[in-house]
């Protein structure tokens, strides 16, 4: 029997927990699907599904092999991808879309210097999409924002970025040199889409500093900010109609690292080294741990115990 | 550096709050400054207690007094005032440095006058002259200041009648405790640079100024957990002052001295109190924008 194919059928049934739905998804009739699952059960010598009740359930053995089955399937996909690609062709790299043209250009130039054999194929993707693409083998290396993870991913050194705030030029806060998170009270906030971990961390930090956004929009561009209806966080931008201001006390810490699946190949390792250098030199990022600890300065009138 | 063209409109801020304002702000470490009438003579009111505290700790440094010595202030010798020992009904025994704490944190007049009795106004003025603060002068202690108001107004309560207020010597910089915003900011910067006394004593002074209880003036401009605001207020009819140091989480330190005089004579003028914070924030942001 083709074990890989049977494991694939198993994972689909395990996801659907319904033979009819699983068969429809696989584009086949239900009886042959049930038969193949029975053959897999015979092969492994255990029952994978409990079909006694109206609802299909995974047995303990079924649960035990599900993660491993997925792992085998992605590895096989990756094996095929590697075989088809041949030696020294292309390194598929994911970068966050907000990184900026200059940084992406520097990544390509830096990598070309480090490895002339391999061509870099960068794709702009948000971190959640990168994690999925890395796990499935559609991407060789990613540059993604934390906290985010997926089974089997390994990470390079973590760099930190201290975002400022992007305001409409007409915002009264544009007149001051640095803005405290609390000053943003009453404003709406634009956050990147596809950055679930960063999203939660950023909002938690905003709340802690007294900024509860009236509304949070997920958007890729700064149109809402330019229109004066929201503010955004990010690295320094210079665009007409927008003003960038540092956040007082640098309360937000965005962490970022390279990521790959399993062992990094030589091209991926070379890219990782280039990425760390370029992000430090070109995007003002620093090593994790270089960030100062936030200090609360108590005052008699506003401190506790008074 | 003056750079008047890009200076913020502090005068407009003060006017819109119904006061005439004089401000001087200086970066403690770089000396960069911004001014709005910073060289005008101003009435210190209780801000003079900063100078008294400096001389008190300098005498402690020289061994002329023991800051831990306990003194008893008799109830019948209390100088009038709404806070601290001045507001207490009975005899109070405390150490000299705890009286210094009350004098700074809650502007306790009796505590201040008890320290004047130990330190001497002549010594305070000699210290100021030695620092080159030629336009800062302490004319009288709190009891002397209060007596001049009673004499000029003919009443015990703080006057609100414009005609009475206009003849108070206590509101004329030439005839009462006085300074300029620039000199007051300079004295504070010296405390923060450990130049006003020994580093240990300067540390004590920074701690006392950091325990300032009134939140409605300088501190109101910086409502942030990670920004420290230390200061000393001063209040007399139509006068609302505060001078202090603002410390940002990135290490930036700015000495700011703000002196205001309101057009109106009402005691309660929240906008006049708040503009001290607003103007200070504007000035500090201006200094910070020049860095980059």
Q: Which fold has domain B10-47+134-291?
A: Beta-lactamase (3.40.710)
Output the DSSP codes for chain A: --HHHHHHHHHHHHHH--HHHHHHHHTS-HHHHHHHHHHHHHHHTS--EE-SSSS-EE-HHHHHHHHHHHHHHHHHHHHHHHHHH-TT-EEEEEE-GGG-HHHHHHHHHHHHHH-SSSEEEEEE--HHHHHHHHHHTS-SEEEEESS---TTEEE---EEE--EEEEETTSGGGGSSSB-GGGGTT--EEE-TT-HHHHHHHHHHHHHTT---S-EEE-SSSHHHHTTS-EEEES----TTEEEEPBTT----EEEEEEEESSPPHHHHHHHHHHHHHHHHHS--EETT-SPPP-----TTTSTT-
Return phi, psi of residue A291, to 5°: -75, 130
Token pair of B42, please?
């101003």
Q: What is the pLDDT of residue A176?
A: 86
Q: How far is CA B28 from the centre of its chain?
A: 17
Segments in chain A below pLDDT 70: 81-88, 289-294, 303-306
Q: What is the pLDDT of residue A88?
A: 55
pLDDT tens per residue, range B139-178: 999 999 999 999 999 988 888 899 999 999 999 999 999 9
Chain B residues within an 8 Å CB radius of A251: 226
Q: Is the pLDDT of residue B51 over 60?
A: yes
Q: Distance (Å) from the C-alpha of residue B226 to the closest C-alpha of chain A?
A: 5
The secondary structure of residue B47, as a DSSP letter, is G
Helix (H) or strand (E) holding B178: strand B178-179
Chain B residues within an 8 Å CB radius of A176: 281-282, 285, 289
Indicate yes or no: CB of A249 within 8 angstroms of CB of B285: no
Q: How far is CA B116 from the centre of its chain?
A: 16
- Please report the sign of the dihedral spanned by the C-alpha atoms of residue A127, residue A133, residue A134, residue A136: positive
Of B227, B282, B289, Cβ closest to residue A297: B227
CB B254 within 8 A of CB B198: no
Statement: the pTM of the whole predicted model exceeds 0.90: no
Q: Distance (Å) from the C-alpha of residue A206 to the closest C-alpha of chain B?
A: 13
Of B226, B281, B286, Cβ closest to residue A297: B226
The secondary structure of residue B75, as a DSSP letter, is G
- Short-list A254, A261, A221, A257, CA closest to A92: A261
Q: Is the ipTM reported for this complex over the cut 0.85?
A: no
Return phi, psi of residue A238, to 5°: -125, 95
Q: How far is CA B186 from CA A45, A156, B31, B191, in A?
A: 86, 50, 10, 9
Of A248, A250, A300, Cβ closest to residue B105: A300
Q: Is the pLDDT of residue B129 over 50?
A: yes
Q: How far is CA A154 from CA A95, A138, A145, A263, A266, in A?
A: 16, 16, 13, 8, 15
Judged by average pLDDT, the poorest of A63-72, B48-57, B63-72, B99-108 is A63-72
- Please report the sign of the dihedral spanned by the C-alpha atoms of residue B172, residue B173, residue B178, residue B182: positive
Angle at A141 between CA A275 and CA A161, to 5 degrees: 40
Candidates A182, A208, A297: best to mutate against B (most CBs of B within 10 A) is A297
Determine the residue of chain A that is closest to B231 in CA distance.
Answer: A299
Confidence of residue B4 (pLDDT cuts 50, 70, 90): very low
Say how far apart CA A282 and CA A262 lie, in whole Å.
28
Q: Distance (Å) from the C-alpha of residue A135 to the closest C-alpha of chain B?
A: 40
CB B199 within 8 A of CB B223: no
CB A265 within 8 A of CB B177: no
Q: Is the pLDDT of residue B96 over 90?
A: yes
The secondary structure of residue B137, as a DSSP letter, is B
CB B279 within 8 A of CB B10: yes
Q: Distance (Å) from the C-alpha of residue B106 to the closest C-alpha of chain A?
A: 11
Buried b / exposed e over B7-18, threshold 16 CB at 10 Å, is ebebbebbeebe
CB B186 within 8 A of CB B255: yes
Confidence of residue B245 (pLDDT cuts 50, 70, 90): very high
How much is the mean pLDDT over chain B? 94
pLDDT tens per residue, range B193-234: 999 999 999 999 999 999 999 999 999 999 888 899 999 999
The secondary structure of residue B92, as a DSSP letter, is E
């Amino acid at each position: 029997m083709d074990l890989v194919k049977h494991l694939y059928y198993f994972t689909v049934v395990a996801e659907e927990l319904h033979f009819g739905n699983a068969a429809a998804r696989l584009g086949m009739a239900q009886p042959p699907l049930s038969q193949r699952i029975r053959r897999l059960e015979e092969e492994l010598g255990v029952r994978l599904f409990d079909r006694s009740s109206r609802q299909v359930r995974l047995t303990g053995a079924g649960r035990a092999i599900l993660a491993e089955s997925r792992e085998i399937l992605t590895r096989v996909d990756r094996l095929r991808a590697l075989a088809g690609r041949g030696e020294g062709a292309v390194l598929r790299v994911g970068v966050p879309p907000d990184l900026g043209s200059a940084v992406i250009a520097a990544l390509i130039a830096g990598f070309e210097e480090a490895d002339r054999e391999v061509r870099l194929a960068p794709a702009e993707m948000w971190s959640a999409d990168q994690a999925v693409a890395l796990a499935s083998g559609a991407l060789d290396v990613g540059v993604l924002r934390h906290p985010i993870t997926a089974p089997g991913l390994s990470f390079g050194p973590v760099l930190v970025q201290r975002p400022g705030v992007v305001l409409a030029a007409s915002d009264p806060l544009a007149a001051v040199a640095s803005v405290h998170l609390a000053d943003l009270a009453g404003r709406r906030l634009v956050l990147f889409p596809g950055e679930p971990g960063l999203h939660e961390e950023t909002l938690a930090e905003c709340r802690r500093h007294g900024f509860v956004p009236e509304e949070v929009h997920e958007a890729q561009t700064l149109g809402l900010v330019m229109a004066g209806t929201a503010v955004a966080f990010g690295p320094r931008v210079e665009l007409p109609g927008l003003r960038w201001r540092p956040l007082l006390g640098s309360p937000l810490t965005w962490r970022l690292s390279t990521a790959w699946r399993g062992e990094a190949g030589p091209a991926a390792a070379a890219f990782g080294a280039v990425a760390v250098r370029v992000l430090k030199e070109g995007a003002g990022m620093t090593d994790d741990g270089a960030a100062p600890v936030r200090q609360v300065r108590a005052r008699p009138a506003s401190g506790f115990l008074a | 550096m003056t750079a008047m063209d890009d200076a913020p409109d502090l005068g407009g801020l003060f006017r819109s709050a119904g006061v005439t304002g004089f401000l001087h702000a200086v970066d403690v470490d770089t000396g960069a400054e911004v001014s709005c009438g910073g060289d005008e003579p101003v009435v210190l009111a209780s801000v003079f207690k900063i100078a008294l505290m400096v001389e008190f700790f300098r005498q402690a440094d020289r061994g002329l007094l023991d800051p831990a010595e306990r003194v008893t202030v008799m109830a019948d010798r209390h100088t009038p005032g709404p806070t601290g020992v001045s507001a207490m009904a009975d005899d109070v025994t405390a150490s000299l440095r705890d009286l210094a704490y009350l004098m700074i944190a809650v502007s306790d007049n009796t505590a201040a006058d008890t320290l004047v009795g130990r330190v001497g106004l002549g010594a305070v003025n000699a210290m100021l002259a030695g620092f080159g603060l030629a336009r800062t002068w302490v004319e009288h202690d709190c009891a002397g200041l209060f007596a001049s108001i009673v004499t000029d107004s003919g009443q015990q309560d703080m006057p609100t009648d414009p005609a009475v207020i206009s003849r108070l010597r206590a509101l004329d910089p030439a005839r009462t405790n006085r300074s300029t915003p620039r000199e007051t900011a300079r004295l504070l910067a010296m405390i923060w640079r450990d130049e006003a006394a020994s580093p240990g004593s300067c540390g004590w002074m920074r701690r006392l100024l950091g325990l300032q209880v009134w939140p409605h003036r300088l501190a109101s401009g910086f409502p942030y957990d990670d920004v420290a605001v230390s200061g000393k207020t001063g209040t007399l009819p139509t006068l609302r002052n505060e001078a202090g140091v603002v410390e940002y989480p990135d290490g930036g330190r700015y000495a700011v001295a703000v002196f205001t005089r309101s057009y109106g004579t009402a005691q309660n003028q929240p906008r006049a109190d708040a503009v001290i914070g607003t103007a200070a924030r504007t000035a500090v942001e201006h200094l910070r924008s020049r860095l980059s």
